[in-house]
Amino acid sequence: MQQSLAGDKNAYNTVLTETATLLRPYLCKRLGDPSAADDVLQEILISIHKARHTYDGTRPFKPWLFAIARFRLQDYLRKYYGDTLRFAGDLDEIDEMSVSHVTESPLSYESIRGEIDQLQGKQPQILGLLHNEGYTAKEVALQLGMQESAVKVAAHRAYKILRKRLGG
């Protein structure tokens, strides 16, 4: 990002491409609609371009990036709900517009079971206990004879791998 601020177009291209790769699954999870996620992603990339003078490279990049991403996402959701309410013909149409409809994730534990089973070590077992059985990290740690922090680290690493495989 620092190189791109200096005018390095290739570095900037890399930053934007990796940003798009990082944000797309985040937006898909929150919007549940890939084409809406692409629209919001375009707005975010444009906003990053316009706001890049506010990042100097001396502090972590992700908080800056996600601050812009969350702001544009909120703008989009505000407009979406506003338009839907404004143009709804009757109460039935408003009823159909629920928070869960917009933000429902297309992914559930069962839908990505195959990917989870391909994870290494205790990761599949940990994710199964956490998300399928509904145990807390502490309870999972007790069952598997691990430290709670180790369970959390393993889960975090598993999410990272799954995000990469599924987000593409």
Partner 1 sequence: MTDIGKLITELSEDAAPVKAMPHPAVLFAILSGVAALYLVGLILYGGLRPDLAAKLMSPLFLFEILLLVAMIASSCLSVAVLSFPDMHQKRLAAFAPLITLALFLIILAVEWMETPISTPHPPHGIQCLLCITAYSLVPACAIFLYLRQTANTHPTLAGGVALLAASGIGCLALRLAEPTDSIQHLLQWHYAPMLVLSALGLWLGTIILKWKTGRP
- Sole window of 66-74, 91-99, 146-154, 159-167 interacting with partner 1 (rule: CB under 8 A): 66-74
Q: Where in 16-35 is the site for partner 1 (CB under 8 A)?
A: 16-17, 20
Residue 72's φ and ψ, nearest 5 degrees, are -70, -35
Task: Give yes or no for residue 51 binding partner 1 (CB under 8 A).
Answer: yes
Find the length of the chain.
168
CB within 8 A of 59, min separation 6: which ones? none
Which three-class secondary structure state does DSSP give residue 162? helix
Task: Give yes or no for residue 52 binding partner 1 (CB under 8 A).
Answer: yes
* Shortest distance (Å) from residue 33 CB to partner 1: 15
- Sole window of 4-12, 89-97, 108-116, 157-165 interacting with partner 1 (rule: CB under 8 A): 4-12
Q: Which of 45, 119, 151, 162 binds partner 1 (CB under 8 A)?
A: 45
Task: Give yes or no for residue 168 binding partner 1 (CB under 8 A).
Answer: no
> Of the candidates 26, 161, 38, 17, which has an alpha carbon nearest to the alpha carbon of residue 107?
26
Residue 32's φ and ψ, nearest 5 degrees, are 70, 5
